[in-house]
Amino acid sequence: MTTLVTGATGNTGRHVVAELVRRGEHVRALTRNPAAAAGRFPVGVELAAGTHTAPEGLDAAFAGVSRLHITVTAGLAETGPELVRRAVSAGVRRITVVWGGWVGPVEQAVENSGVEWTRLEPQEFMSNTLTWIDSVGGEGVVREPYDFPSALVHEADIGAVSAVALLADGHAGRSYNLTGPESLTTRGRIAILSRAIGRDIDFVPISHEQALDRLTATGVSRADAEYVVGWYADPSDDATTVVDTVERVSGRPARTFAQWAAEHAGRFRVPGATG
């Protein structure tokens, strides 16, 4: 059987692909530019041209597919329900979906699809730390408005849980809250990252308004910026409380932030830095 992974080059999608391949499954990776993506996936992964935000062009990608992984991203709320409808019509019988932070149109369409589904509800991704690359590498500082706790989850653990839910019985109709093994404040993450790169990093608090302006300057809408910064200002209990879902579903402990930092340390170091 073939599994189609949408958003296959993204932070979570690539880990879903890798985990499925590790388990010996045939994977078709959906990407806007297969030529550019060639070499980024394990041997044997089939590349399909297209994007989940244009489901009308995915007939070939859906051919022979029985399982589907969806990551809800910007722009998918409008096209996601049609993506699900076409997938089911093409023969998909099991779907995993990484939610967009709440149960929106895509998540509802998956739940109402009539096929087996599992919704993954990860809390903050460890990869959000990558937004610190420029300030850490250039100045040795992190600027954030709040020193909040967060039970960050490693993207590879999201991929592992998705693969299990796609391949094994017993996960249909379930929603899985996913966290890492510890809840860390911003300062706590900085301390771990400092050790990983062998360089002191300072925490520089900024105002709520400065955080909003920083996001909107990157093209994020004011409403979306308010949601993101508001989440940091007042995180939910789910966002700060550690749960053992990753270990229960995947069979192994969730990865730590220290592991993530070690994997990505080179991206935070200034040119020529050692350690």
Give DSSP secondary structure letters for the chain: -EEEETTTTSTTHHHHHHHHHHTT-EEEEEES-HHHHTTSS-TTPEEEE--TT-GGG-HHHHTTEEEEEEE--TTHHHHHHHHHHHHHHHT--EEEEE-SSS--HHHHHHHTSSSEEEEEEE-SBGGGGGGGHHHHHHHSEEEES----B--B-HHHHHHHHHHHHHSSS-TTEEEEE--SS-B-HHHHHHHHHHHHTS--EEEE--HHHHHHHHHTTT--HHHHHHHHHHHHS--HHHHS---HHHHHHSSPPPPHHHHHHHHGGGTSPTT---
Task: Tell me the whole-structure pTM to 2 decimals.
Answer: 0.93
Distance CA 227, CA 151 (A): 18
Per-residue pLDDT of the chain (275 residues; tens, 9 = 90+): 899 999 999 999 999 999 999 999 999 999 999 988 888 999 999 999 999 999 999 999 999 999 999 999 888 989 999 999 999 999 999 999 999 988 999 999 999 999 999 999 999 999 999 999 999 999 999 999 999 899 999 999 999 999 999 999 999 999 999 999 999 999 999 999 999 999 999 999 999 999 999 999 999 899 989 988 998 888 899 999 999 999 999 999 999 999 999 999 999 986 444 44
| pLDDT confidence of residue 270 | 62
Q: Which pair of structure tokens corresponds to residue 201?
A: 């990093």
Distance CA 7, CA 240 (A): 27
| Identity of the residue numbered 103 | V
